Structure 1
Amino acid sequence: MTITIDTHAIISAAPASLRAECRDLTPAEFYDRYCDKAGPVKLSEWTPIGARHTGAHCAATIEIADRLRTVTAAGNPVAALTSALYDEGYPVEILAFHQRRTESGAATFIQCEFNGRRGWGAALADDSAESTFRAIIAGINHLGARI
């Protein structure tokens, strides 16, 4: 699945601390640093279950270093994904969570800590839970997750 991100919309929705951190970046540089999902953790498949935009129930298949794992969230996508990542050797801690509805979808900003490093991940998707999953994955990959 290819997602087109309106980087101007996502930057304007970012929390003040992240906007300050990225004030000298172009929209393309912002995307490359905070939204790009390249790395050992990937979202392979996403399936919302039930009402759209609620994030109440969803199933995701994540790929961690070429191993597939299905994560099911019932109400809290952050808890579901961080628990699954912990089980796979990625003890990520969520330090800040910001989510805003934009014209383009749910913009999610997650500041996380992994292996003693802190950084942000950002994502934009129609579904708030999917946006959350993508932001966490972008944050982990941004911090240089290693197996």
Structure 2
Amino acid sequence: MLTLDTHTFIAAAPKALRAECADLTPAQFHDRYCELSGPIRVGDWSPAGKRSAEFTATLEFTDHLRTVIATGSPVAAMTSALYDEGYPVEILQFHQRRTASGTATFVQCECNGRRGWGAALAEDGAESTVRAMIAGVNLLRLPGPSADR
């Protein structure tokens, strides 16, 4: 994991998110938008290479693991994997910016009519995207997948 300079991270956020979090301290921002706990966690992460858009991510759900292997868009791969697991997430806004600390990604997610932002910082843009999406879904505090998938 990267060392987080929260002020730089917040400065990289899109204008709408910066306005929404204007009264938060850096610690509050981190707790609100970068939440690591919830029904889904990112386990193992493996990029295929610096010049490749391939990655493997292991997602930890309450009662099982799922490995996502993707070439191309991490947003498409994660959206599909989450949908298959009963989390019909839609990405409404996506913002990614390279900082001195790594790649900062901010996503506004919607699932079952609820909206919220997720944010993450990682060395790799794909990893940052995956972690931001999982943070967004977890922050919505979604119940587990429905039985009638």
2:147 is aligned to: none
2:39 is aligned to: 40
TM-score (norm 2): 0.93
Describe the SS at the equivalent of 1:39: coil
Would the aligned equivalents of 1:55 and 1:76 in 2 still touch at CA under 8 Å? no
**Which residues of structure 2 form unaligned runs of 5+?**
145-149
Which aligned segments of 4 or more residues in structure 1 are displaced greater than 3 angstroms?
Answer: none
Deviation string, structure 1 residues 117-143 (Cα, Å, up to 9, x no partner)? 101000000000000000000000110
Deviation string, structure 1 residues 3-28 (Cα, Å, up to 9, x no partner)? 43221111000000000000000000
2:96 is aligned to: 99
Q: 1:3 to 1:146 in 2, by over 3 A?
A: farther
1:144 is aligned to: 141
Distance 1:146 1:58 in 2: 27
CA RMSD of aligned residues (A): 1.1
Q: What percentage of aligned pairs have identical amino acids?
A: 65
Shift of 1:145: 1.6
TM-score (norm 1): 0.94
Distance 1:102 1:127 in 2: 12
Would the aligned equivalents of 1:47 and 1:58 in 2 still touch at CA under 8 Å? yes
Would the aligned equivalents of 1:94 and 1:110 in 2 still touch at CA under 8 Å? yes
1:24 is aligned to: 23
> Match of 1:110, as an amino acid?
V
Deviation string, structure 1 residues 48-84 (Cα, Å, up to 9, x no partner)? 002x2x5600000001223100001201000001100
> Match of 2:30, as an amino acid?
Y
1:70 is aligned to: 67
Distance 2:70 2:21 in 1: 31
